[in-house]
Amino acid sequence: MIQRGVNDRELLTLCQYFRERGHPLRFIEFMDVGNTNHWTAERVVPARELLARISAEWPLEPVGPAYRGEVAARYRYVDGRGEIGLIAP
């Protein structure tokens, strides 16, 4: 989970780490789940922003679901070096 002001500066480093190792990476948008996770709108980095920031460094293209009912929107790097998934509310 990427949160603005907490770990959003590490986004591309995290992507690069998993790209180099060939592992898929999943991001869950920081969501309001009551008062247990101290959610505030200011700390949300929307999935579309994550996608834009990653795509600016390594172009992405959408990929269909890997299985019926998959909740992550999947994208693969155009250069073939892995994939990411985004789970948004």
Secondary element (H or E) of residue 63: strand 60-63
Q: How confident is the model at residue 31 (pLDDT cuts 50, 70, 90)?
A: low
Q: Which tokens in the block code for residue 69?
A: 């009912």
The pLDDT, as a whole number, for residue 45 is 85
The pLDDT, as a whole number, for residue 46 is 87
Beta bridge pairs of residue 62 = 75
Global confidence as pTM? 0.85
Predicted confidence (pLDDT) per residue in 32-84, tens digit: 666 666 667 777 888 999 999 999 999 999 999 999 999 999 999 999 999 99
Q: How far apart are CA 21 and CA 11, in angstroms?
A: 16
CB 78 within 8 A of CB 61: yes
Beta bridge pairs of residue 25 = 84
The pLDDT, as a whole number, for residue 64 is 94
